[in-house]
């Protein structure tokens, strides 16, 4: 049997137990970080224990949706669960993307339980210099 010494851990476990696991109609949120790196935005999701085939990423207009499901591991009949703290069920996160992002070239990579989504900044949104031309004459106003 496993022993715990953190008294607040038991309260956290109880709160998680009282909340139903995520379902497709009411998914749980997944932790994420988002940051800009050069000419792209990077969004990183923690998805430990999820198989890559269970990850579904959609983009519709300017809404990015990441959805996945973590199911319990198959156990033999003689296995008795003593402690279960890892969340199971459906997880989903939606992010509204700015119009300045290139949703046609989004890339995603999953490694070691971390999903990394890279969204390039659209060429039209990148800063650029505007050259100033010099005219040979002036416009005159008659009147």
Output the pTM of the full model: 0.68
Neighbouring residues of 40: CB distance < 8 A, sequence distance ≥ 6: 118, 119, 120, 121
Q: 112-138, pLDDT tens digit by residue?
A: 999 999 999 987 766 778 788 887 756
Q: How far apart are CA 7 and CA 131, in angstroms?
A: 66
Architecture of domain 20-73+85-124: Sandwich (2.60)
Nearest alpha carbon to residue 117 among 65, 50, 73, 71: 65
- Looking at per-residue pLDDT, the higher value among 137 and 49 belongs to 49
Top pLDDT among 26 and 62 is at 62
- Of 106, 134, 87, 130, the closest CA to residue 41 belongs to 106
Note the pLDDT of residue 33: 93
Q: Which helix (H) or strand (E) holds 92?
A: strand 89-96
Per-residue pLDDT tens digits for 16-48: 555 555 655 566 778 899 999 999 999 999 998
């Amino acid at each position: 049997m496993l022993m715990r010494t953190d008294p607040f851990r038991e309260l956290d476990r109880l709160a998680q137990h009282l909340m139903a696991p995520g379902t497709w109609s009411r998914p749980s949120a997944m932790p994420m970080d988002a940051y800009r790196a050069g000419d792209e935005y990077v969004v990183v999701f923690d998805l430990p224990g999820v198989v890559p085939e269970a990850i579904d990423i959609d983009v519709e207009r300017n809404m990015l949706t990441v959805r996945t499901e973590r199911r319990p591991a198959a156990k033999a009949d003689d296995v008795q669960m003593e402690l279960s703290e890892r969340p199971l069920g459906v997880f989903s996160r939606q992010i509204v993307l700015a119009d300045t992002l290139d949703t046609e070239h989004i890339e995603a990579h999953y490694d070691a339980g971390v999903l990394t989504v890279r969204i390039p900044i659209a060429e039209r949104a990148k800063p650029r210099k505007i050259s100033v031309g010099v005219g040979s004459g002036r416009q005159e106003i008659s009147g």
